[in-house]
Amino acid sequence: MRIAVIGTSGAGKTTLSKRLAVVLDLPFIELDALHWEADWQALTHTNPMEFARRVDEATAGPCWIADGNYRLARAYTWERATHLIWLDYSRKLIMVRVVRRTLSRAILRTRMWSGNVERWTHLLRPSHPIRWAWRTWRQLQAEYAVLLASEEYAHLVVHRVRRPAELNEVIHALVVCRNGLNAAHLSRATGAAGERSVAGRG
């Protein structure tokens, strides 16, 4: 099972992904951690090939859960994923969450990827998550709807979540699927061991 979690800034991608990583016993890949260098240097601008290499390497395994919206990463995350969770919340909820998160990080001076810290002056940047979330909410919603309806991503089991209250149902469905996959793997392993045992006695 390989799960991609998408949604604009403030949707709660990382919080959900960490929760699912524990519940489903999957390695967690935070794309932001692969992307941001010290002093908020963005690899998608400074060294996109290195970012692609990191994502390629991180998602090469048989099971994982990865969160993030980077277009450059889709060739690895979306292409290799078996499931995709789209946190498609209202703009109002997104803005409340992203503002609250920003204030918390700035006040507490939370150390993030590569030791970076959000500062009050960062609010003036056009790329700040608050500005970015407001500006791109409608654009991303339309873009994801088109992409996920295309043949290119027909292999994905898509869970489009429009309200936080729907998450428990999605998590339950994923747990059932994960348990089924584990049971099937165990059955195949047991069957193969039995065949070897019979062949050995013969």
**Full DSSP string of 23-89:** HHT--EEEHHHHHEEGGGEEHHHH-HHHHHHHHHHHT-SSSEEEE---GGGTTTHHHH-SEEEEE--
Share of the chain above pLDDT 90, in %: 67
Report the CATH fold assignment for 2-90+137-190.
Answer: Rossmann fold (3.40.50)
What is the Cα–Cα distance from 120 to 69, expressed in whole angstroms?
24
Q: Provide the percentage of residues in the chain whose pLDDT is more than 70.
A: 88
Query: 2-22: per-residue pLDDT in tens?
Result: 999 999 988 999 999 999 999
Q: Say what angle helices 91-108 and 129-148 make with each other, to 10 degrees.
A: 140
Nearest Cα to Cα of residue 8 among 149, 135, 187: 135
- Residue 153 pLDDT: 96
pLDDT at 188 over 80: no
Q: Is the pTM of this model over 0.95?
A: no
pLDDT of 105-153, one tens digit each?
A: 888 788 877 778 887 776 667 778 888 899 999 999 999 999 999 999 9
